[in-house]
A and B are shown apart, each in its own frame.
Chain A
Amino acid sequence: KAGVTQTPRYLIKTRGQQVTLSCSPISGHRSVSWYQQTPGQGLQFLFEYFSETQRNKGNFPGRFSGRQFSNSRSEMNVSTLELGDSALYLCASSSARDTGELFFGEGSRLTVL
């Protein structure tokens, strides 16, 4: 079974630009969560989608948004990029609410110049 796939793996943007990251969950998984990982802050929750609906949202500004498609693939978008948005963005999928385990992708490393 293929794991969680994230694209692109690396990208460089400049301040003010916007970026879209993609996540393909494990086949059959309907829940997708996004996390921002930075050296000082660890893993911070962005949002979670289940069956195309945003079910939870973390404390990030409105510049961060996401969506989920009918095939459970998810995208997140960051508009008006700031230097502080440089981070590793991790996507994780799970099969059901009470399964417990999150399966992470390898992440998309965003650098904002």
Chain B
Amino acid sequence: GENVEQHPSTLSVQEGDSAVIKCTYSDSASNYFPWYKQELGKRPQLIIDIRSNVGEKKDQRIAVTLNKTAKHFSLHITETQPEDSAVYFCAADPQGGSEKLVFGKGTKLTVNP
């Protein structure tokens, strides 16, 4: 089955710096890759996703890149702010839909003011 590895497990940056979180997946059939943000004590929420027919997607300060050949995808956050502090989860869907996501173990991002 699908296996998703996420690195690093913790990441600390200064406000205004960029943050990059990387994930690899094992199942070449996976074609949907979302990223979820979970603030302390709150529910995970989708922040951006990408499908296998595109290589990059941007939404303001957040971008995701996908390399299907290497089976890895990354989340890039620019101009980080303290409110970006949270746990970020990457995921892959080997069936092409959204009902059986395999998640990475998460990255705890801390943005220091």
Residues of A with Cβ closer than 8 Å to B?
A: 4, 31, 33, 35, 40-45, 48, 50, 55-56, 90, 94, 97-102, 104-107
**Complex Cα–Cα for A102 and B106 (A):** 17
Docked-complex contact B98 and A99, CB < 8 angstroms: yes
Docked-complex contact A43 and B103, CB < 8 angstroms: yes
Q: Count residues on chain B whose CB falls below 8 Å from chain A CBs.
A: 23
Docked-complex contact A42 and B105, CB < 8 angstroms: yes
Interface residues of B in 90-110 (CB under 8 A from A): 91, 95-106
The listed residue (A41, A102, A106) touching B98 by CB distance below 8 A is A102
Chain B residue contacts of A105, Cβ below 8 A: 43
What is the minimal beta-carbon distance from B106 to any residue of chain A, in angstroms? 5
Which one of B44-52, B67-75, B77-85 contacts A? B44-52
**Complex Cα–Cα for A100 and B98 (A):** 5
Q: Does B89 contact A (CB under 8 A)?
A: yes
Docked-complex contact A43 and B98, CB < 8 angstroms: no
What is the minimal beta-carbon distance from B58 to any residue of chain A, in angstroms? 17
What is the minimal beta-carbon distance from A39 to any residue of chain B, in angstroms? 9
Docked-complex contact B99 and A56, CB < 8 angstroms: yes
